[in-house]
A and B are shown apart, each in its own frame.
Chain A
Amino acid sequence: MLVKVRAFAGFREILGKERELEAREGSTIADLLSELASNSPRFKESAFDNSGVLRDYVLLMWNKKKIDPCQDLSLEMHEGDELAIFPPVAGG
Chain B
Amino acid sequence: MIEITEQDFSLDEIIKKAKRTDAGAVVTFLGTVRDDGIEMMELESFRESALQELESIRGEAVARFGLKSAEIVHRVGLLSVGDNIVAIVCSAAHRDEAFLGCRYIIEELKKRAPIWKKEIGENGERWVGRE
Chain A residues at the B interface, C-beta cutoff of 8 Å = 6, 8-10, 12, 57, 61, 64, 84, 86-92
Contact = CB atoms under 8 A, between A and B. Distances in A.
A13 B109 CA distance: 24
Contacts, number: 66
Nearest to B106: A92
Contacts of A86: 46, 114, 116
B49 A89 contact: no
Contact of B49 (A12, A84, A92): A84
Most buried by B among A6, A57, A90: A90
A81 B129 CA distance: 28
Contact of B31 (A8, A89, A92): A92
Contacts of B114: 8, 61, 86, 89, 91
Nearest to A91: B115
Contacts of A64: 48-49, 52
B84 to A, nearest CB: 12
A36 B32 CA distance: 36
Nearest to B49: A64
B129 A6 contact: no
A71 B59 CA distance: 29
28 contacts: A6-B46, A8-B114, A8-B116, A9-B44, A9-B118, A12-B44, A61-B46, A64-B49, A86-B116, A87-B116, A88-B129, A89-B113, A89-B114, A89-B115, A90-B110, A90-B116, A90-B117, A90-B129, A91-B50, A91-B109, A91-B115, A91-B117, A92-B31, A92-B85, A92-B86, A92-B109, A92-B110, A92-B115
